[in-house]
Chain A
Amino acid sequence: MAGEAQCLSYAGCNFLRQRLVLATLSGRPLKIRKIRAKEEDPGLRDFEASFIRLIDKVTNGSRIEINQTGTTLYYQPGLLYGGSLEHDCSPSRSIGYYLESLLCLAPFMKHPLKIILRGVTNDQVDPSVDVLKATALPLLKKFGIDGEGLEIKINRRGMPPKGGGEILFACPVRKVLQPVQFTDPGKIKRIRGTAYSVRVSPQMANRMVESARSILNKFLPDIYIYTDHMKGVNSGKSPGFGLCLTAETINGTVLSAELASNPQGQGAAVLPEELGQNCAKLLLEEVYRGGCVDSTNQSLVLLLMTLGQRDVSKVLLGPLSPYTIEFLRHLRSFFQIMFKIETKTPEEEHMGGEKVLMTCVGIGFSNLSKTIR
């Protein structure tokens, strides 16, 4: 698979995860040069090193070479192996950073992946575990990756800077993915959410719920926001609180928004009322952007469409995020696949902002490692 494929070369530290994930799936070797070469602190950061270790864990036979300063990385992918694993994520990024990539790789393992990740469960940068649980899992199900084995479970919450959270991610394997036709998001049916608080007063969660509801109640009655206060060892090492909201449509589209408090000792203290209101507004913004997949999972859905059977897949998205745009370019270099991109004006769709209809024909990727039983 790998030997004859041409090596791809990139410069710079951006989109490291995308590149490593796509290299692993396509089996093409990868070389990345000039990783923060001109900075005072050159080379790979600890969270990137941790990510590379994670990739090494889930694959078998990968060759990874990093030069002394860490500014050049050579990666020759092995086979995706899976199995029961554990990984300690760097606390400088949240588990979501690692989990996003694992979601892309997990369906194509030899053995179903069951991994325990430790670190920060919710932060202000990456999609939190709660959001990925609420949005990415329903998405995987649409591609035929479902069943008992698919779950994300939060055992312990950990807030930055110290972390101390723990999650379990399990995903079954599939030989082929189903093509999707996902062009009508439908109307919003209900809003769900989780207000979490650790090592602060449990009242914080209630205050967030109340303020978020004060905005959302005007739009629809079916709102339920769970409060999740974890205590003792389950509460991690740092205090904090936050809110995740998801809006579900009649056709099963899940749109999400989230906010978390500032980490201890960084920035001003955030009022839970303010955070709740802002998060509700972010959800409204996400609903306005719309589409059948929320902006966090745009690249995941495009990847799964690419790796589907040789059949046409369609998905309606909101405005493309910069990350997604770069992902499309990477998909072209790794899989020689280009999407048909059509803009849909709000007048045509009678709702929200501009939409983009993405169409592609799957490359007919099949999981070679999976034995047929």
Chain B
Amino acid sequence: SSDSEFESASEKVAESKQHEINSEGTEMRSQISDHSLKRKAVLTTDSGNCTAEEASESEVENSSLNEGDDEEGSHDESEVEESNRKGIRDTEAKKSGRIKPTKFKSVEAEEDDVENLLREEEEYEEKIDFSADTTGALKWKEDLTQKAAEAFLRQQRSTPNLRKLVYGTAVEDEDQE
């Protein structure tokens, strides 16, 4: 339950941020630095015109994805990564155009890399990563997100559900009610 609270809270922040960006498109650079400061709280870095309906829609999608298996998550992440590189180049062009809503899973206190990864979106745009459009971008940086995603999922699996271990499996069902 705390997860979903956090999710909705940060969703709100993200939304308000998006409106800000909308109205003050010229102040993009300052926004970016602002973003990097608030990365923990605001999981999305978005320059989009996201309406409230879209946002709620994405949340619904997102929650259904959360319940799905981990496989899907890692698949999405590779997509995100691809779109990252693509997105950066046409960031400037996109700024005034239409933008898709961002979706994310909430991951409390995870590393930023992992947070990045857990966003799943067709055309996600990353503005801060300058190293990627440099020609001499370092190789080891390329699949950092992928590696982090794997590490996160590995850890997630290895952490046991203590309540289940202590009280047995039957507890889980009655607990949900």
Contacts and interface: CB of A to CB of B under 8 A. Distances in A.
B109 A341 contact: no
A357 to B, nearest CB: 10
Contacts of B171: 338
Given A338-B171, A343-B159, A328 B166 contact: yes
A336 to B, nearest CB: 12
Contacts of A356: 162
A46 B53 CA distance: 72
A343 B162 contact: yes
Q: Give chain B's interface residue range (CB within 8 Å of chain A).
A: 10 to 19
A325 interface: yes
Interface string B154-177: 010001101101110001000100
A201 to B, nearest CB: 47
A61 to B, nearest CB: 33
Interface in B139-156: 155
Nearest to A347: B109
Nearest to B168: A329
Nearest to A354: B159
B159 A328 contact: no
Contacts, number: 28
Contact of A341 (B155, B159, B162): B162
Q: Give chain A's interface residue range (CB within 8 Å of chain B).
A: 10 to 19
A60 to B, nearest CB: 34
Nearest to A324: B166
Contact of B167 (A320, A332, A343, A347): A332
Given A338-B171, A343-B159, A329 B109 contact: no
A363 B175 CA distance: 18
Contacts of A345: 155, 159
Contacts of A342: 162
Q: Is the interface of A mostly helix, strand, loop or mixed?
A: mixed
A243 B59 CA distance: 58
Contacts of A347: 109
A320 B160 CA distance: 13
B3 to A, nearest CB: 12
B114 to A, nearest CB: 12
Nearest to A325: B166
Contacts of A53: none
Given A347-B109, A348-B109, A340 B167 contact: no
A340 to B, nearest CB: 7
Contacts of A332: 167
B4 to A, nearest CB: 15
A340 B160 CA distance: 14
Nearest to B165: A325
Contacts of A348: 109
Interface in A317-362: 320, 325, 328-329, 332, 338-343, 345, 347-348, 356
A343 B164 CA distance: 12
Contacts of A325: 165-166
Contacts of B166: 320, 325, 328-329, 339, 341
B165 to A, nearest CB: 8
Interface string A58-102: 000000000000000000000000000000000000000000000
Interface in A104-135: none
A328 B109 contact: no
A325 B165 CA distance: 9
A329 B168 CA distance: 9
Nearest to A358: B162
A320 B109 contact: no
B72 to A, nearest CB: 24
Interface of A: 320, 325, 328-329, 332, 338-343, 345, 347-348, 356
Nearest 7 CB-CB pairs, A to B? A341-B162, A341-B163, A328-B166, A325-B166, A348-B109, A343-B162, A343-B159
Given A339-B163, A348-B109, 12 more contacts: A325-B165, A328-B167, A338-B163, A338-B175, A339-B166, A341-B163, A341-B166, A343-B159, A343-B160, A343-B162, A345-B159, A347-B109
17 contacts: A320-B162, A320-B166, A328-B166, A329-B166, A329-B167, A338-B171, A340-B163, A341-B162, A341-B163, A342-B162, A343-B159, A343-B162, A345-B155, A345-B159, A347-B109, A348-B109, A356-B162
Interface of B: 109, 155, 159-160, 162-163, 165-167, 171, 175
